[in-house]
Chains A and B, each alone.
Chain A
């Protein structure tokens, strides 16, 4: 991600400002200078009208996320973190500026198209897991493909993913039979079931103890090794330290690209 003050060209050159990106162990191909970002934004503004007052949640920020990156967005409450995450997840559209997903302006998408893109390219992990209580672990992983007509392939993919996150023996368990960490790993598997290019995590360790949080972060690390970009919003300094890159968001603008200022 680049700050608005970044004088470099939008394409590629911000790798120079982020020397670690290239050296991520086992990174799926070093992000080449001309590699297409998975998602990028220019002068993105988001304003809400609440109670007759206009709240400017994002005040013209630039960002880009490359494949295989682990980016942490930090900042105090009300700084626009969640708004930015929603924007990245195509759950929200900017009121100003341009957001491009794999080079295509998201403004051109219809609601159906945005839903489809979300399904194909983006995976979500929520702070409170948001698993569906009536579905088993494996069925929860299948949810994004639940209404597709390929149940056998979906079941296979879901089983593989759960085995991968170490829950191969919990396939038939319901969410209330799983611990917090297990639930979050199910949620991660769910986010990965459609082989997304981008995984968005809102406070993924917020409801977990330190050791369980570590497992989740390790999971994210393994994911980025496969070329999936992970963007997480966090209050947790610990998570921020783990990230390849930290974006400080304060009052809707990006402050500093290097040092984490958590609030």
Chain B
């Protein structure tokens, strides 16, 4: 049983110790003031520290997780580095894929909207008559412009030289051959000369050009073609269709308003003209373009899968790091549970820790990946516009989200195991 006099002595001692403690406070305060006066610029540091502390009190789980991560900086850094590499790979390969696809689609230009109808080889005919043209016009009604073309190869001479060129006859050159000063809405007279022909023969608007035995005035030089076209307009000469002896057309081009219109026109032309026998061959680049797009999608998917594997590996390393962390902090987690922190809260704090690794790694990975792709674009022929498209923002966002999710999933089991262990066991171990 207690000895009361001894107890009172203890209590007196405790009170004295408390007094000493209070003196300690005032000494410490004086010391702090002196330090503050000595180091005036530290007020900024103080303010940031106070802000950080306030934020920490507002989001205790985040602040706790950050401190726990800072205990093993190297380990946390390496785990986050895994995510950095994974997200970098996804962003770099994903963005490059999108950029290539965008650049290729741009290169192919409006080609995908063209439907080219020409006589079928097996029909034995070499041209389309006005009935065919009427059928095509009905099929294309409301979906685009129908441009009947006459064409032949011919020797062209002018200036001091001569060359062989494709000669087209159409009244409506603009949709197919491009716009330039002098290209008429309705082609009635004179010749339009492709860029390469003009170069070879040194022709300008106003020059004279002789095709076979007839001489024409050059009305305009066609702009050089940037996109791929089956008409090879650069080495062509366009004449009014009346200049041709024949009344029939060698091909009819439908410039549809959109890819799906082009598809519909192609289908309907086949139905109308090829129902009984195959009279015409219908060439639509939509299907080619679709196949190109499909190829790029496949390529992109493959690249992303390779990059995704590296992210999954990063997830495994987070899993490993979190397992180590929770086994080291077993006792601490037991204390948290013992003093009344619910296991869901313990779980959440640990998940925040894992996710922070993913978020930090993801941000760095996205930044590095974007910078890398932009550098590649600046140093190669890949146009920078093809990199800066909306789809690439989606790639970046997706990669970041994937990185964070992988980290979260990696932390799930270790956090669950730690939070659900009975506190008696964790405290004993």
Give residues of chain B (373-429) contacting chain A, Cβ–Cβ below 8 Å. Answer: 422-424, 427
Query: CA of A122 to CA of B64 in the docked complex: distance in angstroms?
Result: 23
Query: CA of A194 to CA of B339 in the docked complex: distance in angstroms?
Result: 10
Q: Is A143 an interface residue (CB 8 A)?
A: yes
- Residue pair A124, B339 in contact (C-beta under 8 Å): yes
Would you give the 0/1 interface string for B1-25, flagging 1 where the beta carbon is closer than 8 Å to chain A?
A: 1111001001101100110111011
List A contacts of B27 (CB < 8 A). 169
* Choice from A120, A146, A169, A241 contacting B24 with Cβ under 8 Å: A169
Would you give the 0/1 interface string for A209-229, flagging 1 where the beta carbon is closer than 8 Å to chain B?
A: 000001101110110000000
* Choice from A115, A133, A163, A167 contacting B340 with Cβ under 8 Å: A115
Q: Report if A132-B332 is in contact (Cβ < 8 Å); known contacts: A25-B4, A144-B339.
A: yes
Query: CA of A177 to CA of B180 in the docked complex: distance in angstroms?
Result: 82
- Residue pair A218, B424 in contact (C-beta under 8 Å): no
* Choice from B58, B339, B340 contacting A151 with Cβ under 8 Å: B58
Q: Report if A166-B341 is in contact (Cβ < 8 Å); known contacts: A135-B67, A147-B61, A218-B14.
A: no
List A contacts of B14 (CB < 8 A). 166, 215, 218-219, 222
Q: Report if A20-B340 is in contact (Cβ < 8 Å); known contacts: A168-B21, A168-B25, A218-B10.
A: no
Q: Is A49 an interface residue (CB 8 A)?
A: no
Query: CA of A155 to CA of B17 in the docked complex: distance in angstroms?
Result: 23
Q: Which of B61, B338, B341, B427 has the most CB of A within 10 A?
A: B338
CB distance from A112 to the nearest CB of B (A): 6
Task: Say which size band chain A's interface belongs to.
Answer: 35 or more
List B contacts of A118 (CB < 8 A). 338-340
List B contacts of A242 (CB < 8 A). 2, 7
Would you give the 0/1 interface string for B339-352, flagging 1 where the beta carbon is closer than 8 Å to chain A?
A: 11111010001000
- Residue pair A155, B424 in contact (C-beta under 8 Å): no
- Residue pair A214, B10 in contact (C-beta under 8 Å): yes
- Residue pair A143, B336 in contact (C-beta under 8 Å): yes
List A contacts of B71 (CB < 8 A). 133-134
* Choice from A119, A163, A219, A222 contacting B339 with Cβ under 8 Å: A119
List B contacts of A126 (CB < 8 A). 335, 427
Q: Which of B1, B21, B28, B61 has the most CB of A within 10 A?
A: B1
List B contacts of A62 (CB < 8 A). none
- Residue pair B60, A89 in contact (C-beta under 8 Å): no
* Choice from B60, B61, B343 contacting A115 with Cβ under 8 Å: B343
Q: Is A235 an interface residue (CB 8 A)?
A: no
List A contacts of B21 (CB < 8 A). 163, 166-169
- Residue pair A116, B340 in contact (C-beta under 8 Å): yes
List A contacts of B2 (CB < 8 A). 20, 241-244
- Residue pair B13, A218 in contact (C-beta under 8 Å): yes
List B contacts of A194 (CB < 8 A). 340
- Residue pair B342, A241 in contact (C-beta under 8 Å): no
- Residue pair A147, B345 in contact (C-beta under 8 Å): yes
Would you give the 0/1 interface string for A73-101, flagging 1 where the beta carbon is closer than 8 Å to chain B?
A: 00000000000001001011000000000
Q: Is B77 an interface residue (CB 8 A)?
A: no
Query: CA of A214 to CA of B332 in the docked complex: distance in angstroms?
Result: 26
- Residue pair B10, A115 in contact (C-beta under 8 Å): no
CB distance from A187 to the nearest CB of B (A): 9
Query: CA of A20 to CA of B4 in the docked complex: distance in angstroms?
Result: 11
Q: Is B215 an interface residue (CB 8 A)?
A: no
* Choice from A111, A124, A152, A163 contacting B338 with Cβ under 8 Å: A124
- Residue pair B331, A20 in contact (C-beta under 8 Å): no
Name the residue on A nearest B27 (C-beta): A169
- Residue pair B57, A151 in contact (C-beta under 8 Å): yes
Would you give the 0/1 interface string for B314-339, flagging 1 where the beta carbon is closer than 8 Å to chain A?
A: 00000000000000000110111111
CB distance from B137 to the nearest CB of A (A): 73
CB distance from A262 to the nearest CB of B (A): 15
List B contacts of A135 (CB < 8 A). 67
- Residue pair A221, B58 in contact (C-beta under 8 Å): no
- Residue pair A151, B60 in contact (C-beta under 8 Å): yes
List B contacts of A91 (CB < 8 A). 338, 422-424, 427
List B contacts of A164 (CB < 8 A). 18
List A contacts of B61 (CB < 8 A). 147
Name the residue on A nearest B10 (C-beta): A218
Name the residue on B nearest A246 (C-beta): B1
List A contacts of B336 (CB < 8 A). 143
CB distance from B27 to the nearest CB of A (A): 8
Name the residue on B nearest A132 (C-beta): B332
CB distance from A229 to the nearest CB of B (A): 16
Q: Is B229 an interface residue (CB 8 A)?
A: no
List B contacts of A119 (CB < 8 A). 339-341
- Residue pair B28, A241 in contact (C-beta under 8 Å): no
* Choice from B1, B332, B340 contacting A130 with Cβ under 8 Å: B332
Give residues of chain B (59-108) contacting chain A, Cβ–Cβ below 8 Å. Answer: 60-61, 64, 67-68, 70-71
Q: Is A190 an interface residue (CB 8 A)?
A: yes
List B contacts of A143 (CB < 8 A). 335-336, 339, 341
Name the residue on B nearest A111 (C-beta): B343
List A contacts of B67 (CB < 8 A). 134-135
List A contacts of B24 (CB < 8 A). 168-169
Q: Taking A91-B424, A119-B340, A124-B335 as given, write out 20 further A-B residue pairs in contact, using a Cβ cutoff of 8 Å, ordered by the A residue number.
A: A92-B422, A92-B424, A115-B337, A118-B340, A123-B339, A124-B338, A124-B339, A130-B331, A130-B335, A133-B71, A143-B335, A144-B340, A147-B60, A167-B21, A168-B22, A169-B21, A214-B13, A215-B14, A218-B10, A242-B7
**Interface CB pairs A-B, < 8 A, 29:** A20-B1, A25-B4, A91-B427, A92-B422, A115-B341, A115-B343, A116-B342, A118-B339, A122-B340, A124-B339, A130-B331, A130-B427, A134-B68, A134-B70, A143-B339, A144-B340, A144-B341, A147-B349, A152-B57, A168-B21, A168-B22, A168-B24, A194-B340, A214-B10, A214-B13, A215-B13, A221-B10, A241-B2, A244-B2
Instruction: Give me the 10 closest cross-chain CB pairs, A-B, nearest first.
Output: A119-B340, A151-B57, A166-B21, A169-B24, A134-B67, A218-B14, A144-B339, A130-B335, A169-B25, A218-B10
